[in-house]
Amino acid sequence: MSKSQGFTIVEDGTVTTPKGFRAGGLHCGLKKTERYDLGAIVCDVPAEAAGVYTLNAFQAAPLKVTKASIGIEGKLQAMIVNSGNANACTGAQGESDAYEMRAKAASALGLAEHYVGVTSTGVIGELLPMGKIRSGIERLPDRVTSNGGDDFCQAILTTDLTKKTICVTLTINGAQVYIAGAAKGSGMIHPNMATMLGFITTDAVIEHEELQNLLSQVTDSTFNMITVDGDTSTNDMVVVMASGMAGNERLSDRHPDWEAYKQGFQYVAEVLSKAIARDGEGATKLLEVSVEGAVSEAAARAIVKTVIGSSLVKSAAFGADANWGRIIAAIGRSGQEVNTETVDIRLGEFVVLEQSRPVQFDEVLALEYLQGELVRYHIHLNMGEHKATGWGCDLTYEYVRINAAYRT
């Protein structure tokens, strides 16, 4: 374990580290390779649950099923997920298949149907090969174990190159509480959710309403502040399940340890968000854009999103080009109030613009900085007290290659 602020990072922790959780994955034939493509997280008890979903008008069938499940009691006991096929834009048959996935998983795991959530990721517009899904679900219970967190992480990947997982622990009322997460996402990533799936588990005692409010607030400053390519998917979802098995006094915003718990929850979401941005399809570096001095938080976030999503900014980052002109142009087209005489810009520690006027800087040292794996752009508007931060990646030749042949 390593200490970070008010919580401790559990180096080898997974979504099964919080008390009461098991997980696993297997290959059922949805992917052409032998990589895992079906997985599940299971709780020993019905867990308090919350979810946030894509804002894309074309929401995939599994999202409807998961919303319906959580909507009955505010609880889930299992999430089943497949990769390789999104089950999106598949009409009535796709919705029927998603409900069948729920029913089959519930039967195999011995759970009530409405305690099961469903999610899918992969190619849009193709019906699920339900014969393979059924066979995989039948074998899944034997693969769901207290040590199955890594297998679950593998099962949810599509074009991702790396698994994305994090776990922290903190003390509440003398009880040790864990918060853990796993996610996938690499392409079709844009603020307001993305082709990303996120799963957070915790053993804290917290009820559905508080959990939903917390997830929604944290999502706005983490999962909704990343972008890879400006495309918002049909399947985005983040679900959190709380087993309540840590035995702490019930958490709410009136609890003395609420801020500490929120800080740990925020950290888990932020780490997963940054991992998704860094693993953007074809990416060679993580970009972090921060804006200060904005007239409102909404304005700060809008400017961050515009800059981090600019193809020209992303291309300049790929080329290690200290071209602050791309940044100032993106700020100017963000649709937000800007004083064109007071903008400061830094690339890392290199001041390149001050009060909207160019500043001489060492191009050689700046190039060396921009060739690193983490590049920070800092913008100060000098207009107000509000700020925001977002994350993205560079735009590379490899991104075009991957997406030119995604279905093949």
pLDDT computed for residue 195 by the predictor: 57
Percent of the chain with pLDDT over 90: 79
Three-state DSSP at 13 gives coil
Cα separation values, 399 from 53, 159, 282, 283, Å: 25, 11, 5, 7
Report strand pairing: 350-354 vs 357-358. Answer: antiparallel
In this predicted model, which residue has the larger pLDDT, 298 or 58? 298
Q: What is the dihedral of CA 141, 60, 306, 198, to 10 degrees?
A: -10
Q: What is the dihedral of CA 183, 264, 146, 156, to 10 degrees?
A: 0
Q: Please count the other Cβ atoms lying within 10 Å of the Cβ belonging to residue 382.
A: 14
Percent of the chain with pLDDT over 70: 94
Cα–Cα–Cα angle for 378, 381, 383, rounded to 5 degrees: 150
Categorize the per-residue pLDDT at 232 as very low, low, confident or very high, splitting at 50, 70 and 90: low
In tens, the pLDDT along 124-150 reads: 899 999 999 999 999 999 999 999 999
Chain position carrying tokens 């005692």: 205
Q: Which amino acid belongs to residue 234?
A: T
Cα–Cα–Cα angle for 6, 8, 13, rounded to 5 degrees: 145
Three-state DSSP at 61 gives helix
Question: The whole model's pTM is what?
Answer: 0.88
In tens, the pLDDT along 238-285 reads: 999 999 999 999 999 999 999 999 999 999 999 999 998 887 777 889
Sequence-distant (6+) residues with CB within 8 A of 182 are 14, 15, 149, 152, 153, 156, 163, 164, 165, 198, 199, 272
pLDDT computed for residue 408 by the predictor: 54
Q: Which CATH class is domain 286-404?
A: alpha beta
pLDDT computed for residue 58 by the predictor: 84
Closest to 141 measured CA to CA, from 184, 182, 111: 111
Residue range(s) in the chain whose domain bears CATH number 3.10.20.340:
286-404
Q: Which residue numbers are catalytic?
A: 195
Q: Is the dihedral of CA 241, 107, 62, 273 positive or negative?
A: positive
DSSP 8-state class, residue 147? T
Residue range(s) in the chain whose domain bears CATH number 3.60.70.12:
2-276
Chain position carrying tokens 């180096």: 11
pLDDT computed for residue 55 by the predictor: 80
Categorize the per-residue pLDDT at 405 as very low, low, confident or very high, splitting at 50, 70 and 90: low
In tens, the pLDDT along 73-96 reads: 999 999 999 999 999 999 999 999
In tens, the pLDDT along 176-208 reads: 999 999 999 754 444 443 457 999 999 999 999
pLDDT computed for residue 189 by the predictor: 45
Pick the CATH number of 2-276 from 3.60.70.12, 3.40.1260.10, 3.40.50.720, 3.40.640.10: 3.60.70.12
φ, ψ for residue 142 (rounded to 5)? -70, -15
Tell me what the pLDDT averaged over the chain comes to.
92
Q: Is the dihedral of CA 169, 216, 376, 316 positive or negative?
A: positive
Does residue 64 register a pLDDT over 70?
yes
d(CA 244, CA 206) in angstroms, rounded, equals: 7
Closest to 49 measured CA to CA, from 253, 246, 264, 199: 199
pLDDT computed for residue 319 by the predictor: 94
